[in-house]
Structure 1
Amino acid sequence: MSVSYIPEKTKILLWGKSAGRCQYRGCNTSLYRDDLTQAEFNQCYIAHIVADSPNGPRGHVTRSKELKQSLSNLMLLCDTHHRLIDKVEVENHPEDVLLLMKKEHEDRIDLITGINPNMKSEIIIYKASIGNNPVMMTYDSLKEFLIPEKYPARNGATDLSISNSTSVDSRKTFWELQLENLDDQFKEQVLPKLRKSELSHISLFAMAPIPLLIKLGTYLNDIQQLDVRQKRRNPDTWKFDDDIDTVYNFTTAQDIKAQVALKIELSDNVADERIIRVLGDNISIYSISIDHPSNDFVKSRKQIIDFGEKIKEAFREIKKIHGQDVLLNIFPAMPISLAIQLGRVWMPKADVSMKIFDQNYILGGFVEAFEIRNF
């Protein structure tokens, strides 16, 4: 327990650097408000890293006196962690460990509070089960990926998902249920805020079957300040790297036939036979591909933008050859962000109608999910 006088100026500086929160690693408890009752009062303890007396925790014959009023030697702590470092587990909390905790906390506070106020972004979440695998995404698990480019506009997110749904994409009712919910949630939660210009920027985190992500993108095609995020596996993050170039190849069909299909071969190859098995052989098959398909190749925003330009090129070429009234069958094998981008660049008054197929192993291959009409 500290027995030294600490100048008021030093206390204020410590409060400022810690943002009034416990500096013990992983705690971050607010020390000006009781989390249970929300009553506001000062419940902090100012702890010495090197004790203010030689006999105290981490005390030193000469340095205790030298550092007893030094800001660099003080930590703001809650009662639990003050007792932990000074009484319960002193040996597990040497000087270097506490100094690192203090630095990490103060650096984080400096980073967050130093962000320009006009860099707010509303987090929008959309998730649906993929096969039998439920998707877990929460505001708390995603907010860190905005910093330092953006920071959350509020302490929460807009979630367009169905709550506690157990429906899976192999059931006939799955697509109808999901589409109805997505339409309702967008009109209720997002559209009114857009009309009132309350959403200056959106960060979209989505994980769902590809057809639903394409449909989601069609709702967002007029939103300019939108950052579509991509979940990466290695490393495990939603953050982007610097600009990366990917060459997207658009291959036209060899013959003009009654039906038209576009296979998107980005996360895997799609053999023509898989399409013919569904639609028959009276079909013109176009393709957008990359040299080495991978489900984890999207690492930058530029790759998403460039794909958008390539899919627009494909839409224009197919309409020019087959006419405005053709129904374009989409067979996608693609990352989530690019599926959303496909929906975003599709223009309902300019592009042809689409029928979206979904790869479903339980049902034995590609199956029709739903249509997206241009009227």
Structure 2
Amino acid sequence: MSTTTISSMNKYLLWVRSAGRCQYIGCNKELHTDILTKKRFNQSYIAHIVADQPDGPRGDKIRSPLLANDIDNLMLLCDSHHRLIDKIEVSAHSEPILLEMKREHEERIRNVTSIHPDKKSFIVSYNANIGDNTPNVTYPYISNFLLPDYFPSQDSSIDLGVVNSLNKDSDPDFWEIEIKNLKRKFDRYLLPRIKSGEINHISLFGFAPIPLLIRLGVLMNDILTVDVRQKRRVPDTWVFDQDIETEYIYGGKLRSANLIALKIELSGDITDDRIKKVLGEDVSIYSIRIDNPNNDFVKSRKQIKDFGNKVKHVLNDLKKKHGQDVVLHLFPAMPVALAVELGRVWMPKADMTLKIYDQNSNLGGFIEALSLKHE
């Protein structure tokens, strides 16, 4: 049992550094308000990492007296975790383990409290069935990835998708139903708040077939500030790295063809025969690609912005070559964030009509999904 009188200064500092919450990893319990009655009183315990007595938990003859009133040796804990580390499972809670818990907790508090007040962001999620998979991007999970760049404006996300929908992307009416659902939810839950000025920044998290994400990008357009997030596999995160550059390569051969197609080969290669299977032999085929297409290359916001700029250039070039009234057939293999960005930079009054296709193995290859019409 502690016999040291901890200074008032260190008590105050510990409360500030812990934000009045239990510092045991995964607990985070508020120690100033009873969870049931909501009565406010001090429920905290100040624990020593290295005991203030040599015979105490993690005690040491030399270091115990030296660290007895050291703020870096103190943890704010709830009753349960105070008992756990000092009485029940002392051997499982070594000094390095407790120091890491303290460090992680205090660093998290610093990150949260250092964010500028105008860095609020509304989390918008969008899910739609991809084959037999039903993604579910939930608020408790994705909200963790806003920090330290932004913090949530509210304690829930604005969900534009339909979780556990029975519609499959191989169903004949899948695209029509999903497009209507997306537009209805956007118009009801998001658009009025954007028009009123309540929402001026969105953090977008999505998992859906690429044509639907492009359509979502069109709804968002490039006027509103939208931070489109990309799920990465290695490491498993939605957090961006610092600016990384990617060279997007545009090419193709102009032919005297009535049809033009654009392949977006970023997640994988698309051979010309797959395009000709859909459109026939008489087609001019262009491509935006990277050297080694893969589905996990987007790691920074700069890569998304650079892709948007490349798409603008390509659309302008194709309009010059083929005219504004020609339909551009789009065959995408691309990451989520870039699909949304494509929709955001496409301008209905300036750019040609897009007819967007989706790869569906159950239906034998690329099938027409939706159109974005030139006005």
Question: For residues 171-226 of structure 1, what are the alpha-carbon distances to aligned partners after superposition, in whole Å with 9 as ceiling and x for unaligned?
Answer: 12221221111111111222122112222322111111100110011011133422
Of stretches 100-109 and 358-367 in structure 1, the one that deviates more from structure 2 is 100-109
Q: 1:336 to 1:296 in 2, by over 3 A?
A: same
Are 1:45 and 2:45 counterparts? yes
Alignment TM-score, normalising by the size of structure 1: 0.93
Letter in 1 for 2:353: S
Inter-partner Cα distance in structure 1 for 2:314 and 2:64: 72
Q: Do structure 1's residue 108 and structure 2's residue 108 form an aligned pair?
A: yes
In structure 1, the partner of 2:346 is 346
Paired letter, 2:83? R
Residue 52 of structure 2 contacts residue 59 of structure 2 at CA under 8 Å; is this kept in 1? yes
Which residue in 2 is equivalent to 1:123? 123
User: Which secondary structure does the structure 1 equivalent of 2:118 belong to?
Assistant: helix
> Which residue of the partner structure matches residue 150 of structure 2?
150
1:8/1:311 CA distance change after superposition, 3 Å? same
Question: How many angstroms does 1:160 deviate by?
Answer: 1.2
- Give how far 1:22 is off: 0.5
Measure the CA separation in 1 of the matches of 2:63 and 2:311.
67
Q: In the superposition, relative to structure 1, how do residues 223 and 42 fare at CA in structure 2: closer, same or farther (>3 Å)?
A: farther
Q: In the aligned structure 2, how far is the partner of 1:77 from the partner of 1:370? A: 56
Q: Which residue of 2 aligns with 1:192?
A: 192
Structure 2 match to 1:277: 277
Asked if residue 314 in structure 1 is aligned to residue 314 in structure 2, the reply is yes
Specify the SS of the correspondent of 1:14: helix
The answer for the alignment partner of 2:16 in structure 1 is: 16
1:291 aligned onto 2:285: no
For 1:199-218, what aligned pairs fall within 5 Å after superposition? 199-218=199-218
> What is the distance in 1 between the residues matched to 2:284 and 2:64?
82
Q: Does 1:261 align with 2:261?
A: yes
Q: Deviations over 1:9-61 (max 9, x none)?
A: 33222111100111112211121233455444332222222334444323344
> What's the counterpart of residue 226 of structure 1?
226
Q: Cα deviations across residues 323-352 of structure 1 (Å, max 9, x unaligned)? A: 222222111111111111110110011111
Q: How many residues align?
A: 375
Q: Is this contact kept in 1: 2:52–2:64, CA < 8 A? A: yes
C-alpha distance in 1 between matches for 2:257 and 2:249: 22
For 2:170, the equivalent position in structure 1 comes to 170
Q: Is the 8 A contact 2:222 2:345 kept in 1?
A: no
Looking at structure 2, the residues matched to 232 and 57 of structure 1 have their Cα atoms a distance apart, in angstroms, of 42
Retained in 1: the 8 A contact 2:242–2:300? yes
Q: Which amino acid letter does the alignment assign opposite residue 282 of structure 1?
A: D
Give the TM-score normalised by the residue count of structure 2.
Answer: 0.93
> Does the C-alpha gap of structure 1 residues 223 and 37 become closer, same or farther in structure 2, counting only changes over 3 Å?
farther
- Aligned partners of 1:268 and 1:70: how far apart in 2? 56
- With over 3 angstroms needed to count, the CA separation of the structure-2 counterparts of 1:71 and 1:241, relative to structure 1, is closer
- Distance of aligned partners of 1:324 and 1:81 in 2 relative to their CA distance in 1, 3 Å threshold: same
What is the CA distance between 1:109 and its match in structure 2?
1.1
Equivalent position of 2:92 in the other structure: 92
Change (3 A) 1:66 1:265: closer
Alpha-carbon distance in 2 for matches of 1:301, 1:192: 27
Distance 1:44 1:9 in 2: 16
Contact 2:135–2:163 (Cα < 8 Å) also in 1: no
The aligned amino acid for 1:267 is S
Unaligned runs of 5+ in 2: none
| Residue 4 of structure 1, CA deviation | 4.1
Shift of 1:66: 4.2
* Amino acid of the structure 2 residue aligned with 1:245: E
Q: 1:250 to 1:76 in 2, by over 3 A?
A: same
Q: Residue 268 of structure 1: CA displacement?
A: 1.4
Tell me which amino acid in the other structure corresponds to 1:347. Answer: M
Q: What is the CA–CA distance in structure 2 between the aligned matches of 1:122 and 1:3, rounded to whole Å?
A: 49
> Distance between the aligned counterparts of 1:40 and 1:180, measured in 2?
49
Q: Which runs of 5+ in 1 are unaligned?
A: none
Q: Residues 37 and 256 of structure 1: is their aligned pair in 2 closer, same or farther, counting only changes over 3 Å?
A: farther
| 1:286-305 Cα deviation digits (max 9, x unpaired) | 22222222222222222212
- CA root-mean-square deviation: 2.0
